[in-house]
């Protein structure tokens, strides 16, 4: 007569010692949740969401500081290079025809909103058309401003999906007007949700800052006289007035280029090696040279992912290993308590492999329960980190990939932990029990 289904299921479950088994499953789930949670967060901080087409992007950097005078030389891949450039230098670099695309940009703080409402602070990024295609910014309504509008500095803007929701209730707002810095500006497009992590197009300040909700043609940066809101590298006394800032050697802009081939990379590096800055510089500054960094090298030079996150992954792996070692002791004690039953099974003809796999199945049962338990625990860990570090803007979320990784990790740890105890049980000799009978 076949055994009832519930008895068959018991082969995969922890067995009679439910309180102790529950503690072991909870410990395994905790260890896996910490490991998977911090590993998933480390991937997020390392830029796993960066689009694949970003491989051809390069950050333009100029050789401005003597190596011995560079306070950050220990962290730079190439000491002396800076990625925050002056307005005259960017204007001169844009004259090169080598890159396929060029995306200069600068962040600024503006004030505006609906004409019928009081002005509110708006983070804005002044950029060109190429910025949207280079960094994968998609539009849900409307389109980009035209080349003529870009060069003429027309009063047009592209807003984020969230700002569109706040101001227009989420409807298509193309053609509507905003009053920004006292000027009436027409909305020509609404961006689809855009929140790269990290904000790799500008790592000069606050790597995990939210993307700017307002995009404005770069030509309007001079017209609106908006002060830069990010880091300004002041190589000389801060000039008075917006025009003086634009003419100075102080850096506040980023420049990215897309180079489609190795030959383009070589040609552009040669162009930068001979490049001479177009803004007057103090005598102690270098006056020639530059280089480009690929996106991967640029992230590494900025310390992305942060060393602290890598350290936490290592510590969580050690914690998970400790949980697995505790599981070895539990399984060994539990299996040995059933040694008499195993010896009788061996005497009745059970093979060593059948005994081994019988116990491995029990280990997999523990691992499956621990893995399923670790999913909500890892999600809670990520939610806690989001609340603990609000500057990260809720960037950590439990994904299907992380959930599958949690279950897989728990199953792997359970197999590794149960291998030796299962092997010991399979090596018990039936003759010893037969003689005692």
- Residue by residue, pLDDT tens for the chain (437 residues) are 344 444 444 444 445 566 777 887 888 888 888 888 888 888 777 766 666 667 789 999 887 665 555 555 544 556 667 888 888 889 999 999 999 999 999 999 899 999 888 889 999 999 999 999 898 899 999 999 999 999 888 999 999 999 999 999 999 999 999 999 989 999 999 999 887 777 888 877 666 677 889 999 999 998 888 888 766 666 666 667 788 888 877 888 999 999 999 999 999 999 998 887 765 565 545 556 788 988 888 887 777 777 777 888 888 888 888 888 888 888 888 787 777 877 777 777 778 888 888 888 888 888 888 889 989 998 888 888 878 776 666 778 788 888 898 899 989 988 888 888 888 888 877 755 455 44
113 membership: H or E segment, kind and range: strand 101-113
Select from 161, 151, 158 the least CA-distant residue to 175: 158
pLDDT at 18: 66
Which residues of 131-260 form beta strands (DSSP E)? 139-142, 156-159, 177-180, 183-191, 214-217, 254-258
Q: Concatenated DSSP letters for 272-323? A: HHT---SS---TTS--S-EEEEEHHHHHHHTTSS-HHHHHHHHHHHHHHHHH
Instruction: Determine the pLDDT at residue 146.
Output: 92
**pTM for this structure?**
0.73
**CA 246, CA 235: separation in Å to the nearest integer?**
13
């Amino acid at each position: 007569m076949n055994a009832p289904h519930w008895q068959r299921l018991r082969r995969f479950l922890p067995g009679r010692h439910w309180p102790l088994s529950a503690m072991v499953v909870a410990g395994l789930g905790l260890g896996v949740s910490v490991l998977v949670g911090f590993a998933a967060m480390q991937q997020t901080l390392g830029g796993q969401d960066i689009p694949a087409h970003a491989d051809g992007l390069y950050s333009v950097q100029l050789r401005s500081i003597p190596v011995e005078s560079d306070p950050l030389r220990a962290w730079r891949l190439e000491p002396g290079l800076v990625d925050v450039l002056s307005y005259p230098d960017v204007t001169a670099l844009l004259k090169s025809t080598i890159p396929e695309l060029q995306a200069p940009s600068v962040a600024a703080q503006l004030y505006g909103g609906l004409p019928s409402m009081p002005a509110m602070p708006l983070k804005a990024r002044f950029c060109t058309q190429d910025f949207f295609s280079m960094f994968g910014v998609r539009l849900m309504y409307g389109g980009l401003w035209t080349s003529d509008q870009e060069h003429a500095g027309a009063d047009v803007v592209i807003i984020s999906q969230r700002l569109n929701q706040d101001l227009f209730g989420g409807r298509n707002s193309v053609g509507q007007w905003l009053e920004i810095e006292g000027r009436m500006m027409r909305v020509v497009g609404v961006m689809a949700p855009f929140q790269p992590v990290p904000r790799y197009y500008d790592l000069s300040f606050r790597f995990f800052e939210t993307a700017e909700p307002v995009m404005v043609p770069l030509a309007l940066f001079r017209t609106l006289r908006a002060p830069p809101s990010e880091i300004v590298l002041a190589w000389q006394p801060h000039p008075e007035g917006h025009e003086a800032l634009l003419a100075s050697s102080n850096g506040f802009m980023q420049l990215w280029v897309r180079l489609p081939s190795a030959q383009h990379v070589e040609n552009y590096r040669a162009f930068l090696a001979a490049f001479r800055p177009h803004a007057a510089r103090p005598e102690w500054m270098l006056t020639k040279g530059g280089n480009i960094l690929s996106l991967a090298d640029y992230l590494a030079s900025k310390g992305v992912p942060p060393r602290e996150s890598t350290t936490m992954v290592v510590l969580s792996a050690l914690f998970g290993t400790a949980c697995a070692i505790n599981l070895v002791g539990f399984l060994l004690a539990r299996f040995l308590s059933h040694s008499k039953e195993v010896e009788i099974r061996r005497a009745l003809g059970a093979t060593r492999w059948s005994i081994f796999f019988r116990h491995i199945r029990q280990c997999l049962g523990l691992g499956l329960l621990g893995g399923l338990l670790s999913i909500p625990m890892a999600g809670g860990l990520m939610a806690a980190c989001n609340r603990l570090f609000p500057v990260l803007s809720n960037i950590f979320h439990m994904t299907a990939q992380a959930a599958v990784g949690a279950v897989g990790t728990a199953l792997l740890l359970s197999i590794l932990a149960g291998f030796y105890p299962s092997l010991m049980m399979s090596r018990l000799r039936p003759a010893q029990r037969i003689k005692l009978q």
